Amino acid sequence: MLQSYMQGFAIGMSLIMAIGAQNAFVLKQGLKKQYVFWICMVCIASDSILILMGVLGFSKIMQTNPELVEWAKYLGATFLFFYGAQHFYKAFTATTHLLPSEKDESKLLKMVLICLALTWLNPHVYLDTVVLIGSISTQFEHAKLQFALGAITASWIFFFALGFGARFLLPIFRSAKSWKILDFIIGLVMWGIATSLIV
């Protein structure tokens, strides 16, 4: 049982650590110290649901209905292009950069909706959590739940470490230039993922 849990944890951590749209968003919110707990909880809850869906057999539905992934692919690419464009705009606009000492007027609901969109409109999330983890879980016929809990634990640890650990990078982000560079990098990540979805 413990072995199944640890293997689920290792696989979950290896998949979640890849640089992606969701992680970039959590990092930026952590740097801004804005709704970090709630953003992390949205990511964790989403991952937990997707992992359980995969382990409980939803991966078979997705494999037999590839059009579901296709719809998510184009919706996700459209959203990522738009979101990436916003970051490029911020990167080249001197008046819109948030310094750590400044207030951000963005509302919690808006941030949560963006986080949900970055998560649920990204087909890679389904392929990693539902299909891949769901497929691997079939090797643990009598310990699927433990395997799933291991992967979910990895999600909890990673997102809270990323969100709340980002504040240790704040000395680097005391200047507007650093925020411009971050926005530019996030824009590249968003557009890179969007391009990979439709090419």
pLDDT, tens digit, 9 for 90 and up, residues 23-53: 889 999 999 899 999 999 999 999 999 999 8
pLDDT of residue 3: 86
CA–CA separation, 110 and 117 (whole Å): 11
pLDDT of residue 114: 93
Mean pLDDT of 133-145: 81
pLDDT of residue 133: 83
| H helix intervals, the chain | 2-16, 21-32, 36-53, 59-64, 67-91, 108-120, 123-125, 134-136, 144-165, 176-198
pLDDT of residue 59: 59
CA–CA separation, 129 and 193 (whole Å): 17
Residue 65: Cβ within 10 Å count: 10
CA distances (Å), origin 164, targets 29, 87, 106, 144? 9, 22, 19, 30
Residue 193: Cβ within 10 Å count: 22
pLDDT, tens digit, 9 for 90 and up, residues 63-99: 677 676 677 678 778 888 888 898 898 888 855 444 4
Between 60 and 53, whose confidence is greater?
Answer: 53
Q: 16 and 47 in contact (C-beta within 8 Å)?
A: yes
In this prediction the pTM is: 0.76
CA–CA separation, 116 and 76 (whole Å): 11
Domain count, the chain: 1
Calculate the average pLDDT of the chain.
83
Range of the domain at 90: 2-198
